[in-house]
Amino acid sequence: MKTYNVAIVGATGMVGQEFIKVLQQRNFPMDSIHLYASDRSAGRKLYVGHREIEVKETSPESFHNIDIALFSAGSEISRHFSPIAAKSGALVIDNSAAFRMEPNVPLVIPEVNSEDIKHHQGIIANPNCSTIQMVVALYPLHKVNPIKRIVVSTYQAVSGTGAAAMEELTTQARLVLEGQNVVPHVYPHQIGFNLLPEIDVFLDNGYTREEWKMVEETRKIMHTPDIAISATCVRVPVFIGHSEAINVEFTDPMSPDEARRILAQAPGVKVLDDPSVSLYPMPWLAAGTDDVYVGRIRTDASHPKGLVMWVVADNLRKGAALNAVQIAEEAARRGWVKKRK
């Protein structure tokens, strides 16, 4: 079996540390692993297996002799260092939004469009977390009965913003329960015991960038430029696990039972759907797991060709690190990674 020299850029962040966990849990064939971050985090040591590895500052020289570079350091870092890494010969899998809508950069969910990987020119983009779980759940249905329209409302955990947001939620929850005033820092308003219908910046069309990512990325991944999509993205006081309420209009009617049968056999999907015993997906149960969970599948009472469903996944795993590692696995399995001699 071939083994690979792997680099993680942004190794000290939440997704970077999840990269380390996933690579180990899935026994990714690594010859070596190299950890990089900003100058502020350089010098820290992280455990990989039973070894302590020092985190180094990212530089153009970081990618010499690297086969696969996993990026989770934000768009600015990715725009600067990803082309350098690719020019050095590494396959870059980037978790930021920097290259997702570039025409020559594949945007990949392995369960959906793994064939797109082979068209890479050194960089592959990992989709947005909320897009990934929605498309994993909808694409198996789309293959059987083409989807014409999607309306989605998301309930997104604070871990999508990072460790500081998780700390802020913890602090604010305590202060509210103690009857004290809350001063927000990470978000524009209090997140403790509150909901914020604002994720990323507002665009001129009234949508947020997060909402528009779901529209554009879904069309690109599914190769459906004309599919109608509307999204409302909401930050909720949950630590880990994004949830989504999705209304889908199909070309032809589809029963809930047929949808359950299709999804029960779909890769990466687990159906939890028995209202009689209150069985349905919840972020608390999804946290730390790899599947996309689907439940509350029912006929859309407002449309004869519609279904409604509830979709939940761990945003740090399938929504980020796991999907990227699965891309690397698929690229390696198919021989689409240039292995150093």
Can you state the percent helix, strand and coil of the chain, rounding each to 5? 35, 25, 40
Q: Among 34, 120, 142, 242, which one carries the catalytic annotation?
A: 242
Q: Are 309 and 248 a contacting pair, CB within 8 Å?
A: yes
Q: Is 185 a catalytic residue?
A: no
Q: How many helices (H) and strands (E) does the chain have?
A: 9, 14
Single out the catalytic residue among 129, 223, 233, 303: 129
Name the residue among 227, 219, 255 with its Cα closest to residue 148.
Answer: 227
Q: Which residues does 171 contact at the CB level (< 8 Å), separation at least 6?
A: 192
Compute the distance between CA of residue 306 and CA of residue 299 in angstroms, rounded to an integer.
6
Q: Are 151 and 228 in contact (CB under 8 A)?
A: no
Rounded Cα distance between 79 and 323, Å, is 20
Residue 233 bears catalytic tag: no
The rounded distance, in Å, linking the Cα atoms of 196 and 335 is: 44
Distance CA 153, CA 75 (A): 25
Give the N- to C-terminal CA distance of the chain in Å, as an integer: 14
Note whether 23 and 6 are within 8 A (CB): yes
Active site amino acids: 129, 242
